[in-house]
Amino acid sequence: MIKGFIFDLDGVITDTAELHYEAWKKLSDEMGWHFDRELNEKLRGISRMDSIKVIMDHNRVSLTDDAVVALSTKKNDIYVASLDTMTPNDYLPGAKELLTHLRQEGFLVALGSASKNAAKVLQQLNATHFFDVIGDGNSVAKSKPAPDIFLYASEKLKLQPNNCVVFEDAEKGIDAAIAGGFHSVGIGPAERVGHAEVRFDSMKEATFFEVKSFFSE
């Protein structure tokens, strides 16, 4: 029986990918590194430190650990400043409606994001009140595809993984949900999230009634 829902943030509740792209692009331009939208796609759902490693590997660059931390901090400062432009109009279509409906129906709801800036994003959206538990990049050490962030969220909700549905837009996010024994909903194309139990092209299609039809016994 489904009692709780765990939502990824970027790509499910809101589209911060564009702001991440602009911040990585600015850093890369300064460093003389190649960075484009195709490479940005590879950063979907993975942590900041994993992201900079992907960009450096792509550019065949190797730096000291301290230098890598300094550069990822620089990118983060650019990204965090850009979050000030985000407003309660920036939910992905359908996301706010689903969250509202789930709360009305009495389901428990958690966030399970890789982002260390999730609290600020939720604040900008005025979405904090939708969540009983906030699991983010500060909650666990191992990032997706490890299931740790979703296990953290379900433990805090006091639910078993098989009583929870995870919503994810990233391939590695669905990997994490499956590894933890959760039900999964993939948001996006089959090439990316086709291994989820249920898939929708976007959150607009993921209405409460659609979701309910897949998971009610």
70, with CB counted inside 10 A (0-12, 13-18, 19+), is exposed
Which single residue is written with the structure tokens 């993984």?
Answer: 161
The least distance separating Mg ion from the CB of residue 43, rounded to whole angstroms, comes to 10
Residue 132 among the catalytic residues = no
Can you tell me the distance from the alpha carbon of 14 to that of 8, in angstroms, rounded to the nearest whole number? 9
Nearest to 71 by CA among 18, 36, 121, 32: 32
Can you tell me the distance from the alpha carbon of 19 to that of 38, in angstroms, rounded to the nearest whole number? 15
Asked if residue 5 lies in contact with residue 106, where contact means CB atoms within 8 angstroms, the answer is no
- 139 near ligand B16 (CB under 6 A): no
Of the candidates 6, 9, 102, 203, which one interacts with ligand B16 according to CB under 6 A? 9
- 26 near ligand B16 (CB under 6 A): no
- 25 near ligand B16 (CB under 6 A): no
When CB distances are held under 5 to 8 angstroms depending on the partner's kind, the choice from Mg ion, ligand B16, none that residue 43 binds is ligand B16
The least distance separating ligand B16 from the CB of residue 58, rounded to whole angstroms, comes to 15
- 45 near Mg ion (CB under 5 A): yes
Asked if residue 154 lies in contact with residue 176, where contact means CB atoms within 8 angstroms, the answer is no
- 172 near ligand B16 (CB under 6 A): no
Given the residues 8, 148, 169, 175, the one annotated as active site: 8
Of the candidates 4, 11, 135, 186, which one interacts with ligand B16 according to CB under 6 A? 11
Tell me the sheet residues that pair with 164.
4
Residue 8 among the catalytic residues = yes
Asked if residue 144 lies in contact with residue 158, where contact means CB atoms within 8 angstroms, the answer is no
The least distance separating ligand B16 from the CB of residue 77, rounded to whole angstroms, comes to 11
- 76 near ligand B16 (CB under 6 A): yes
* Contacts (CB under 6 A) with ligand B16, residues 45-64: 45-48, 51
CA 46, 26, 82, 70: dihedral to nearest 10 degrees? Answer: 60
Q: Which residues bind Mg ion (CB under 5 A)?
A: 8, 10-11, 45, 169-170
Q: Which residues are catalytic?
A: 8, 10
Q: Which residues bind ligand B16 (CB under 6 A)?
A: 8-11, 20, 43-48, 51, 76, 113-117, 137, 170
